Chain A
């Protein structure tokens, strides 16, 4: 079944077309970002639609003790739940290895781009700091969760406002939100490219993911800096292919960036 699908997809791609008539480097439409979908509950939230893929993300603030190796820094925690609500292929239970990989790749792009200055999350050195929890949920799984989850996380971070914090009592007043946003110094944009046969494509749908040989996610911090990468799939990539993929990621960056608010 899969090999038939694969040879069909490969024959299409070798002619430069895709089953849904997209170009090889074309994202599905519409890409839609909706901010504040859980404004009453979450300090920041957003919903991303990328073709048929739908993902929501929410930001919650917490106050915790800084990690002993970075006593003057706060941190972020990224969690992804591949909800069985979103696909017949997902099962109930704690996050499996795919959900963990996805969460870690989203986390890495934000962390390594230095989008958030963790020092600014410090409240009192060695004692109190802000923890930013980014929880990401799939609502409809239809391919390219990596890029959709990245956009969802960024949009939720953009939407977030700090809750009020009383330093004397150490109590976070979640019902009193301040106007202070999370300062984002960079916008790390993830672009995931699949290799199927000798073809490189962006924004794969479910069938294309089934036919995948290799996958490379490239997150760019700005117009000429890469901040995270993750290869998947069992087929190796040549250096030439990696270079091509990196070029595509930089080319796609401004296009994806424009869906997020300034």
Chain B
């Protein structure tokens, strides 16, 4: 097996790609945000809480969080993606929903729905993580009560090395890569998204989890800054 000694884009093993975060990018939404990591660009908008229709779907105990992850038809590598939800995007929408719901207090909004729409404009791996990172900022921008913030990043193993924020080249590494998308809460470092594909020893997994914490802390800093910027602008 070839060992991976230097990353394709010469980043350090624990270094994420350059990141950018902005809050309030869609005027008509109740909350919105953009998150860019490397060449992956995600935007998210939040609408709600609002009355849920049809009424039989309402839950008198708590509100419902509904997420929709989508890659724009031109945003993939290679051929145009046929518009409309496929199996992949539906699964990602589901795990995104669970990752975000864990920090929201939905019992505050019975009988309502909160819609979160995530769109990928350009992609280069790590799209679900970028989507979650943008979506939680949009939820905060919408003024929803949250127990904690979430940041999300993908970590993995390429050529025997544990590393942060795999890019497309690393994901497609010839000898196989392990890809682990994770979302972590800020205050108490709890995991709200965890997926893995590839073969990995448990020691390496533990190492990867630690690495994810470090990267998520950095992302969180950026999220906080972007939110502060928006709210200082508005004179709050």
Which residues of A come within 8 Å of B, CB atoms? Answer: 37-43, 45, 52, 54, 56, 58-60, 62, 79, 81, 83-88, 92, 94-95, 133, 135, 137, 139-142, 172, 174-175
Contacts and interface: CB of A to CB of B under 8 A. Distances in A.
A45 B73 CA distance: 12
Contact of A140 (B27, B68, B122): B27
Interface string B46-68: 01001000000000000000001
B47 A139 contact: no
Given A81-B83, A140-B28, A142-B27, A38 B122 contact: yes
Interface of B: 25-29, 39, 41, 43-45, 47, 50, 68, 72-80, 83-84, 115, 117-119, 121-124
Contacts of A135: 72-74, 80, 83
B27 to A, nearest CB: 5
B119 A85 contact: yes
A133 B73 contact: yes
Contacts of B27: 52, 140, 142
Contact of B77 (A83, A86, A94, A174): A174
B73 A79 contact: yes
A141 B45 CA distance: 13
A85 B80 contact: no
B50 to A, nearest CB: 8
Contact of B74 (A38, A54, A142, A175): A38
A139 B25 CA distance: 9
A173 to B, nearest CB: 9
B119 A137 contact: yes
A41 B45 contact: no
Nearest to A63: B79
